[in-house]
Amino acid sequence: MLRKLLKYEIKATARIFLPLYAVLFSIALINRLISFISPLEVQAPKIISMIIYITILVGMFVITFVMMLQRFYKNLLTEEGYLMFTLPTLPWKLIVSKLFIAIMWTIASGIAAYISIFIIFMDFTGISSLFTALIEFCGKLYTLFGLSSFLFTAEILLTILIGLASGILILYASMAIGHLFNRHKILASIGAFIALSTITQILFILLVSILHSLHIHDILLETTNFLNMEVTVHLGIWFIILAAGILATGYFVITNYILSNRLNLE
């Protein structure tokens, strides 16, 4: 059933994002053509086309954010929720399907933004230089860390994914908490987000204080001397992954519990 939910989400959102990306690339290409065609002394077409491009670029990220919230809110917390929760599936699968697609389009929007920037500002020589620099960087990374450079790259990507998931899930949890109230649900959701963010920051400060009281800095220095910097870096990254994973799990549990046991549809 999860696969069907994912397909449904992709179909429902692709009809918005794919045309949006097409428009973004088209405007980027128009900007590139204008920069070649327009005389140097005539700047108005360049300025106008660049303003349009920046507007669409910013709008793309705004739409990505709004769609991420709207798909969860409208499908699960309004009248549509009656239909969604009659499906032969569990609430956690509904949450996961929304989460996966939100992550997918967030990453896709980021990639689309980079591609559009390349279209406007990069030439073949620049692209070649970029890939050459990237290959050189990977080579230096391999020289420093050996085979673990691939592990390092995987850890960074995993950190980004879990951090992104945690950021989305705190929004889902906030909306779910807000809909426990009978009135002013959106205002309550905003309040829940502020509360969850504050609690998260307090927990982080407490954790840092505890680690400081345990003289963890001295322990890390001894670990670095005993092992090497490479191992210490990996341990630090995995600590971040673990912390973000715990937060994401907590937000997911809150959302799933409310949708499973305390659902209050409009």
Same domain? 164 vs 251: yes
User: Has residue 142 got a pLDDT over 90?
Assistant: no
Over range 31-48, report the average pLDDT: 76
Number of structural domains, the chain? 2
Which of residues 36 and 198 earns the better pLDDT score? 198
Which of residues 10 and 39 earns the better pLDDT score? 10
pLDDT value of residue 178: 92
pLDDT band at residue 47 using 50, 70 and 90 as cut-offs:
confident
Same domain? 193 vs 94: no
What domain range is 110 assigned to?
Answer: 1-121
Mean pLDDT of the chain: 84
C-alpha closest to that of 204 among 147, 253, 166, 252: 166
Same domain? 105 vs 188: no
Same domain? 97 vs 197: no
- Here the contacts of 72-78 (C-beta below 8 Å, separation 24 or greater) are 72/98, 72/102, 72/171, 72/172, 72/175, 73/175, 76/259, 77/175, 77/176, 77/179, 77/185, 77/265, 77/266, 78/265, 78/266
pLDDT band at residue 254 using 50, 70 and 90 as cut-offs:
very high
Which of residues 45 and 41 earns the better pLDDT score? 45
Same domain? 3 vs 113: yes
- Tell me how far apart the alpha carbons of residues 152 and 234 are, in angstroms, rounded to a whole number: 7
User: Has residue 220 got a pLDDT over 60?
Assistant: no
pLDDT value of residue 121: 80
Angle at 11 between CA 154 and CA 72, to 5 degrees: 75
Domain membership flag for residue 127: no
pLDDT, tens digit, for every residue of 150-163? 777 888 899 999 99
DSSP string, 180-198: TSSS-HHHHHHHHHHHHHH
pLDDT, tens digit, for every residue of 179-218? 888 888 889 999 999 999 999 999 888 877 776 666 555 5
pLDDT value of residue 176: 93
C-alpha closest to that of 174 among 191, 193, 188: 193
123 DSSP 8-state letter: -
User: Has residue 49 got a pLDDT over 80?
Assistant: yes
Residue pair 172/72 in contact by the 8 Å Cβ criterion: yes
Same domain? 167 vs 249: yes
Residue pair 6/97 in contact by the 8 Å Cβ criterion: yes
Domain membership flag for residue 132: no
pLDDT band at residue 245 using 50, 70 and 90 as cut-offs:
very high
pTM equals 0.84
Give the number of residues written for the chain.
266
**What percent of the chain has a predicted confidence (pLDDT) above 90?**
47
Domain membership flag for residue 131: no
